Amino acid sequence: MTGLRKTALVTALCLSLAACAEQPDLAPVAASLESGTAGLGADRVPNTVARGAFGQHIARAVLAEPAITRSTANIRAARAEKSAADGAFRPDFSVGANAQTRLIRSNSSSDVGPFARVSQLVYDAGAARSDQTAAEARVLQSRAQQLETGARVTLDAVEVYNGLLTSRRLLAIAESNLRVLRDFADQIEERVVRGAGSTADSLIARSRVADAETQRADAQAQLERAEAAFRRLFVKIPAKLPPQVKAPPLPAGEADVLEQSPRLRAANATLRAAEADLLAARARRQPGVELGATGRRASGGGSDLALDLTLNYSLDTRGARRAAIETAQARLEAAQAERDTLLRDVREALAFVRTDQTAGEARVIAARQAVASNAASVDAAREQFSIGRRSMVDLLDAQRDFVRAEQTLIRAEQERFLTDYAALALTGDILDVFDITLPEVAQ
């Protein structure tokens, strides 16, 4: 009867404490990372770019990037931690050996023998459940971070590819300008020899040639840096680099961009994990109940089996559990602040992208008109110089303005091209544009 009363008392205590806090809802986070969402095989954007040589180069470079491998390893680690958290609900079996000495009044006895024990968690105020929820949230977090890494690496690859093509164009302009100025300088030298020009004109022409040589050297150095960056991502430079392809438009408004942002998806998972950690820390201040059975075999050949129901309650005299709650609370507040900051950052980035797209288009149009106007100005200055109606300095200035206009156009086209891909990287759609499937980790 006494045993039944004790069991009933423990059971009543467990039931009185069983009002565990509700776990964070991971369903919205999990839904945002299902197959078919942005960056994970969605059909929101066409993948025609992926079927061309440019898209295939980008996809191969992204999948070979060590950052992708590292993010996949992080998913494996998170899944392993999730498996460990799930184990709290399974029985624990252990074996060992025990040596003990009993002293009863003036008599003593010693015994050595093996033992086996099995124990099962009965109640822990929801701590194990909270640990499991936190571990599951961190799996989702690692998946979202892999998506974020993939989008970032893909944009980096596009920028590096575009950077090489742009550097080649700038070098070609610098070399062409140098040839033109050398021709001008030779013509002026001939005029000086014939007595039709001045030494001052010759010196000015030589100065412009020297400036052009410096610009060509700078352009060559920039190209070499671009080639080094290209080799880092793409390993080798093809003999003929396929032309780049314009990005499709971003299929989203502000609300959709915020919802699909890989960074915000990861931040949401981090926030849910922090909430679960706080619940677990609070639960550990409550009593825990464990059911166990231990079988022993004495050195003399006897054996016994003991059943136990253990109620464990820490008075937290060292303050460790109280500190754990405070730490978890602080981390939760930090996770919330981080999410709020990311929300502002993504909204600001989207506004910048929209502005750059509009202004970039206008810059390209204006730059093309400037190139056409300056090209006509060079032709007119050359013709008038040949009949003595324009000075040599006017001709050199016209050529300088033409080269600057060409350089401005190239950079404007570069910025406009990259802005569209930057917009797609905000949501992760850039991965679907190139039909990139990130490695998955089996559960």
Phi, psi of 238 (to 5 degrees): -65, 155
Whether 3 has a pLDDT exceeding 70, the answer reads no
Share the mean pLDDT of the chain: 88
pLDDT band at 126 (very low <50, low <70, confident <90, very high): confident
What pLDDT shows up at residue 308?
85
Query: How many CB atoms are closer than 10 A to CB 107?
Result: 7
Residue 245 carries which DSSP code?
-
What pLDDT shows up at residue 442?
59
What pLDDT shows up at residue 203?
86
Q: Which structure tokens are listed for 432?
A: 């679907």
What pLDDT shows up at residue 8?
46
What pLDDT shows up at residue 325?
94
pLDDT per residue as tens digits for the range 379-436: 998 888 777 777 778 888 999 999 999 999 999 999 999 999 999 999 999 999 999 9
What pLDDT shows up at residue 386?
74
Q: Which residues pair with 110 in a beta bridge?
A: 101
Mean pLDDT, rounded, for 347-358? 92
CA distances from 314 to 15, 170, 321 (A): 19, 72, 9
CA distances from 128 to 80, 413, 443 (A): 16, 56, 20
Whether 27 has a pLDDT exceeding 90, the answer reads yes
What pLDDT shows up at residue 298?
64
What pLDDT shows up at residue 211?
93
What pLDDT shows up at residue 123?
86
What pLDDT shows up at residue 299?
60
pLDDT band at 12 (very low <50, low <70, confident <90, very high): very low
Whether 339 has a pLDDT exceeding 60, the answer reads yes
Closest-CA residue to 338 (of 255, 266, 422, 423): 266
What pLDDT shows up at residue 277?
94
Whether 10 has a pLDDT exceeding 60, the answer reads no
First to last CA, the chain: 48
Whether 246 has a pLDDT exceeding 70, the answer reads yes
Whether 16 has a pLDDT exceeding 60, the answer reads no
Q: What angle do CA 191, 195, 196 make, to 5 degrees?
A: 55
- What distance in Å separates the CA atoms of residue 421 and residue 416, rounded to the nearest whole number? 9
Sheet holding 303-312, edge to edge: 92-104, 107-123, 288-297, 303-312
Whether 6 has a pLDDT exceeding 70, the answer reads no
Lowest mean pLDDT among 150-164, 220-234, 268-282, 295-309: 295-309
Mean pLDDT, rounded, for 139-150? 96
Spell out the domains of the chain, with CATH numbers in brackets.
Answer: 28-101+108-433 (1.20.1600.10)
What pLDDT shows up at residue 4?
46
